[in-house]
Amino acid sequence: MPARPTIAVTRWIPDEAVKVLAEAGEVKLSDADRPLTPEELREFVAGASAVVSMLHDRIDGSVAEAAGPGLKVVANVAVGYDNVDVAALAARDITVTNTPGVLTDATADLAFGLLLAVTRRLGEGERLVRARTPWSFHLGFLLGSGLQGKTLGIVGLGQIGRAVAHRAAAFGLRTVYSGRSPKPDFDGEFVSFDELLRRSDFVSLHCPLTPETRHLIDARALRAMKPGACLVNTTRGPVVDESALADALEAGEIAGAALDVFEAEPDVEPRLLGRQDVVLTPHLGSATVETRTAMAVLAARNVTSVLAGDEPLTEVRP
């Protein structure tokens, strides 16, 4: 009887996904409660037919080589796949998959929550109460910014960007968006990136991380924004130059920022940490029980499909 294929899972995933994987092979779970180092990762995947990877795992040709010729699929538990060298794996006939769709609402909810937190100074107010700082209600106390009648600029109108736009409409916001091309089926105004920066009261980032979008929000972009504008990032940290962001906030070039992702995650630009006009959360965009479970199960089903000789559900192509 032939040996069952080994499925290497680089970090904890929900039991529901493990059960799906176990139908197709022997599941090898990492017991390290942290990202594996590059050396540990190569050692861990040796002999695997499938790898279930996380967004902090750099999966490139050296990892594929370490796995050996039996590696057939890498299932990345994320929508973004900037951590995977898709071309290098495709050259070895290794299928790459991701988990789009299932995290759209959760991430859009968080993006809007961050927008409310930074505009209404929610974090600042909570810290004040927890510190037992004396306060009393008065008409000028912790004044924030309302949303109604203002303009939200969405950079990247994919599934999550569209979901954020739908939420914005319920709050009375106008939406403009930029991207590669206009979307005829979307009721919003397509503008250039520079025009979006000039016109938007709030800018929400939803573009993938590519060489073109790395540091898309740099010193020049920040200077182009309104002085009263706020920036929200729930996509990938390196889309924002955090040092330039700290400079812009210190100079009063923009009013605030809310970040769920960071340039050198989990590290954060030190100058942002003490600022009251910045909201920081630890990559919680998809962090609901339902969503993280759905992501892992989708990744698992991609693995089982490929190992069975079937087409993957959500393949990424170079």
CA-based torsion, 52, 55, 61, 63: positive or negative: negative
Spatial separation of the C-alpha atoms in residues 193 and 161, rounded to whole Å: 15
Task: Count Cβ atoms below 10 Å from residue 310 Cβ, excluding itself.
Answer: 9
Catalytic residues: 236, 265, 283
Structure-token pair, residue 169: 């409409």
Contacts 24+ apart (CB under 8 A), 36-44: 36/10, 36/11, 38/62, 41/10, 41/66, 42/66, 44/8, 44/10
- Enumerate residues 6+ apart whose C-beta is below 8 A from 24: 4, 5, 7, 50, 303, 304, 307, 308
Enumerate the β-bridge partners of residue 175. Answer: 152
Pairing of strands 6-9, 174-178: unpaired
